[in-house]
Each structure stands twice: as structure tokens, then as C-alpha cells.
Amino acid sequence: MPKLIPQADDLSRPFWDGVNQKKLILQHCTTCDKLQYPIKTNCYHCSSSDNLNWKEVSGKGYIRSAIVIEDGRLDRRMPDQPYNLAVISLDEDPTINFYSNLPGVEAYKAPIGSSVEVIFEEVAPGQLIHEWTLVH
């Protein structure tokens, strides 16, 4: 399935640099000791903007929910329909969610509640993206 090539900006560059090193790093607020994703200029929890750092997480989680896209409107994805679209919750903080197509999992077969781990796929020379795969 074709993947978008990330366009890092100043705010997201540490995240994408981590991905390119095969690490999943998230913003961490040292004021309230919370992780956050998506990336923002201030903490979702306490609104601090001065105490956001980056912290590597395990890259382990579980499938919270999943749907199958059968009639999507994105031209680049039409040839791949039907395909999974799963919500992945992190073990470190189940309020942090990622989306995944679950490479290698047949459409309609996403096992809700199953353990997953982050993997990294090359989408352009020198550019990786994060994806998720079942832990067997």
C-alpha cells in the first residue's frame, strides 16, 4: 500500500529523526510527567510549553479497535481496498493512539485486543515511517 512521505517541520523533526533511527519517541512533559501524541507546542494535560522533552517508549501496544475501508476516496489507496484501519493504544499510556493498516493482516481479520509492536518501513531513501505488526 502506498505510504505518505513525512514532511517534518521544526516541531515534529525530533519525532521523525527518532523514527529514522528506528525509535519511537514521544513528547514528555516534565511538569506533569505525562506523554503526549500527536505533537503539540504545549502539554495537553497541564498546558506547559516550557517543559516538553522527548522520551523513547517501548513501541508496544494493542489493537483497541479496527474497521475495514472498502470504499475510500483516496486515489492512491483505491487499489488496496479493502484494507484494515486499526487504532493502536500504547502500553505506556492507553490514551495515546496511533493508526495502522496492520501490514500482513488480512482485511476483516484484525484481532481486537491483540498485542502489537512498532516496526519501521522505508518509504523513500533514508526516510522511514512507523507501522504496527502483531506480536506472535
For residue range 26-71, list pLDDT tens digits in order: 999 999 999 999 999 999 999 999 999 999 999 999 999 999 999 8
4 lies in some domain: no
1 lies in some domain: no
For 62-84, what is the mean pLDDT?
Answer: 89
Region of residue 45 (left: phi > 0; alpha: psi -120 to 50; beta: else): alpha
107 lies in some domain: yes
- Domain count of the chain? 1
129 lies in some domain: yes
39 lies in some domain: yes
**Cα 37 to Cα 93: distance, rounded to the nearest angstrom:** 10
2 lies in some domain: no
- For residue 97, give its domain range: 13-134
Q: In the structure grid, which three cell numbers stand for residue 6, read together? A: 513525512
Share of the chain above pLDDT 70, in %: 99
8 lies in some domain: no
